[in-house]
Structure 1
Amino acid sequence: MNSNDKKISLPRLYIPSNEKIVNPLSTGIKASNLSKKNTQKRIDPQFYNQQHDLNNHFCVIVGSEYVLKIIALQQSLMQYSEKFTLWICCIDPFAYSLLKEMSLINVNLLQVEELEDRELKAIKRKRKVNEYCWTLKSVLIEYLLVNYDLPSILYCDGDLCFFSDPNIIFEEWGDHSIFLTPQRDRDWVEKMYGKYQAGLIGFKNDLYGLKSVRWWKNKCIDWCSAEAEEGKFGDQKYLDYIPIYFPKVKISNNLGINAAPWNCIYNNDYKIDKTKNDIFIENDKLVVYHFACITIFTENDFDLWSLGEISIPNNILNHIYTPYLERIQFVLKQLKDKFNKDTKQFLSKKDINKAQTLYKDSQLRRKMNQSNHFMNFSMIISKERLIQGLTSYYSLEPV
């Protein structure tokens, strides 16, 4: 460990977006006299897991449109992680009240108001919902590291889902302060939108972890738009500079961490296969997949890539997408049967006729996905031609 990374005895203060970092000793101000908002932990004991030192920590931001996906994410962590804490920041009352009612295991809930100061509230009025959520990522990460003195935090987009033990991520992260995952996209995409994926990113509670996340926060507060311009895009393009400006950055080499459509479906030519219960991308076990741009119309109707029409290979449909859709279907059933919810309120209001990569899940479709050469036939049979029709049908059976 670098000597500069050792924790000092002074309290680590959460720095609101419009305030500068102040060392209490350098000003003569007692730490107890500093703003209560900076240091107060607003904890509802019913939803706060105090055994956080033993866990890997994940955080996510959720609004009402992402509730189903967040629950699926939590369930995947429950399946594959022995010890974890998932911190969920809810940006609207609907998401907070529902998740509070569900009392999800190993989950700590926060309301966005706990993070917001006057500057952020002003920004909120000017930016789109997705842009404001991007702005909040670094704010949330710093808030959790400092207010709860967590050793590290891994931010996850709400549409991630785990397929094996996430401890693989923390092992690769090791002693580094920052964890980044490459986009692995086309060159022009990375040049415009960024080399590193902002949907999975980690920071340690040490010198460089805090410095880098605060640098990122200040950049996002200054500008965070969904329209790329002059070398900037949302919160993501800024990440290009983190390995340049800060030491102790780990850039993942694992193809199974933050796998996604842009690096597994319409880019690259990775071999993806299933061995027993594990899915492999080349020689790397699939740890977490990014199900970006999925729209949920009904429990069986989905747009698997809303940005355009793409062809998803059957092995990826079978081994990756079908298990995820089953999770979504299970969550919908749970909300209906156990919590007596009208599931329509969780579904997309978009026009299904405008879906780009429409997928209708059914037992027949899953059977068709098992082969790259599945053929469909149709017949019109009358009473007079019944014998001929049945003869034709039985002729299709394998010998």
Structure 2
Amino acid sequence: MICHFATLFDQNYLSRGLCLIESLDRVLNNSYSLYILALDENVVDYFAKHKRDNITVLTLSQLEGFYPELSAAKNNRSKVEYYFTLSPILPLYILENFKDCDRITTLDSDIYFYATPAEIFSSYDKDAVLITPHDFSSRLQDLARYGKYNVSFQSFPNTINGLSVLKDWKEKCITWCYDYQDEKTGYYADQKYLDDWQQNFDHVKSIDLKTCGRAPWNISDTAITVSNDSFLIGNKPLIYYHFHSLRINDRCVTHGLQGYEINGISIGVKKVYSTYILALYKYNKQINQLGDKAVIRININSKSSNILQFILRTEIGAIVLSSKKVLFFNLKIKTNLIRLRNYLKWQN
């Protein structure tokens, strides 16, 4: 069975998109198709030069021509809010225009697969709409007010019910999709709408697999072990991780975990992050884009004139030592100071 995926990104997230593709190649052996909504001409140009049979590039003008009602939304919200608005538009466009696609699964571009997602699809009915719970850690339960589900991995069958869900979501996002919580309705961006799907539609299933949807907001309650270069949760492989808020500038990385009350990082989590950081660093060099300065949301400035200044200013983060090594640092942990001093001494 061929899995059909979709994602969207602009130039600032191109290297993340390439990481996503690399991970899909590895876990699915190229047995998948990927639709990419290119949010600017730089992404269009990149894939025009690097064509692949299993990748279809869509443009904003295609979707905006098919759904002219997008015009009003584009003019009454910020760029990132417009990108949020496109969350239901992209899968709906694919299902309405590519009839051989029996199911489309949309992915945030900063997801990275460590094992095949086949178990996700085999665990639920073929007619099910699949959504991903935040599964907030015990210390972060109050964040559920912004939405029980995260719009990062969701899957829609090409059925009357699947299309009905998407059309309803589309109408709501075009009407209201902003980067703050509405005081009257409680809506927040594109994700709060998902809270009501199980009550309002048939066959909507929450992906309650601990091997999926791991992210900064739940990783503190998830034990990850490493076995023969595989990452395990319990005795099952970690399927994917969502690297929300990670920012990289050249060798300097702000992983954003401290924003979710995580200060001590386990060996397993460090290795999960190291794999992704090294891939991101590789693709940044490949496309000659060493920084995240132009990222339009949650842009944590990790750029510094030198690594020492970055470490002292940031206090918690990581640095890329080489193409195979990442050093995590935390100036709030005394033992880490010794490691940093030794590293800086070695550098000099």
2:105 corresponds to 1:151: no
**Paired position in structure 2 for 1:252:** 207
Given candidates 158, 176, 188, the residue that maps to 1:205 is 158
2:289 corresponds to 1:343: yes
Relative to structure 1, the CA distance from residue 332 to residue 250 in structure 2 (aligned partners, 3 Å threshold; closer, same or farther) is same
The amino acid of 1:77's aligned partner reads L
Relative to structure 1, the CA distance from residue 277 to residue 131 in structure 2 (aligned partners, 3 Å threshold; closer, same or farther) is same
**Paired position in structure 1 for 2:129:** 178
Q: Distance in 2 between matches of 1:151 and 1:356?
A: 48
Structure 1 segments, 4+ long, off by >4 Å, are 353-357, 363-369, 372-375
The answer as to whether partners of 1:177 and 1:206 remain within 8 angstroms in 2 is no
The amino acid of 1:119's aligned partner reads E
Query: Residue 175 of structure 1: CA displacement?
Result: 2.1
Counting only pairs closer than 5 Å after superposition, residues 1-399 of structure 1 correspond to structure 2 as 54-82=1-29, 83-104=31-52, 106-116=54-64, 117-149=67-99, 150-185=101-136, 186-190=140-144, 192-229=145-182, 230-265=185-220, 268=221, 270-298=222-250, 300-305=251-256, 308=259, 310-335=262-287, 342-344=288-290, 347-349=292-294, 351-352=301-302, 357-362=316-321, 366=326, 375-376=338-339
The amino acid of 2:143's aligned partner reads V
Q: Say how many residue pairs are matched.
A: 312
The amino acid of 2:27's aligned partner reads Y
Q: Distance in 1 between matches of 2:6 and 2:215?
A: 19
The answer as to whether partners of 1:176 and 1:250 remain within 8 angstroms in 2 is no
Query: Residue 254 of structure 1: CA displacement?
Result: 0.9
SS in 1 for 2:156: strand
Relative to structure 1, the CA distance from residue 263 to residue 331 in structure 2 (aligned partners, 3 Å threshold; closer, same or farther) is same
Query: Residue 312 of structure 1: CA displacement?
Result: 5.0
Relative to structure 1, the CA distance from residue 283 to residue 182 in structure 2 (aligned partners, 3 Å threshold; closer, same or farther) is farther
Higher strand share: 2
Q: Give percent identity, aligned residues only.
A: 25
- TM normalised by structure 2 equals 0.82
Q: Distance in 1 between matches of 2:22 and 2:52?
A: 9
Relative to structure 1, the CA distance from residue 92 to residue 244 in structure 2 (aligned partners, 3 Å threshold; closer, same or farther) is same
Q: Distance in 2 between matches of 1:324 and 1:377?
A: 22
Q: Distance in 1 between matches of 2:166 and 2:118?
A: 22
Residue by residue over 1:162-215, the C-alpha shift from the partner in whole angstroms, topping out at 9 and shown as x without a partner, is 00112122212332320011111132211x211111111110001211111111
SS in 2 for 1:224: coil
Residue by residue over 1:106-152, the C-alpha shift from the partner in whole angstroms, topping out at 9 and shown as x without a partner, is 21101011111432122112211221111111111111011001100
Q: Distance in 2 between matches of 1:255 and 1:129?
A: 33
Q: Distance in 2 between matches of 1:256 and 1:288?
A: 7
Q: Distance in 2 between matches of 1:360 and 1:113?
A: 39
Query: Residue 105 of structure 1: CA displacement?
Result: 5.6
The amino acid of 1:147's aligned partner reads N
The answer as to whether partners of 1:135 and 1:220 remain within 8 angstroms in 2 is yes
Q: Distance in 2 between matches of 1:183 and 1:290?
A: 11
SS in 2 for 1:257: coil
SS in 1 for 2:213: strand
Could you say which structure has the larger radius of gyration?
A: 1
Relative to structure 1, the CA distance from residue 282 to residue 120 in structure 2 (aligned partners, 3 Å threshold; closer, same or farther) is same
Relative to structure 1, the CA distance from residue 307 to residue 237 in structure 2 (aligned partners, 3 Å threshold; closer, same or farther) is farther
The answer as to whether partners of 1:295 and 1:306 remain within 8 angstroms in 2 is no
Relative to structure 1, the CA distance from residue 306 to residue 123 in structure 2 (aligned partners, 3 Å threshold; closer, same or farther) is farther
The two structures, once aligned, show a CA RMSD in angstroms of 2.6
Mean alpha-carbon deviation: is it higher for 231-240 or for 178-187? 178-187
Relative to structure 1, the CA distance from residue 263 to residue 129 in structure 2 (aligned partners, 3 Å threshold; closer, same or farther) is same
Q: Distance in 2 between matches of 1:199 and 1:155?
A: 7
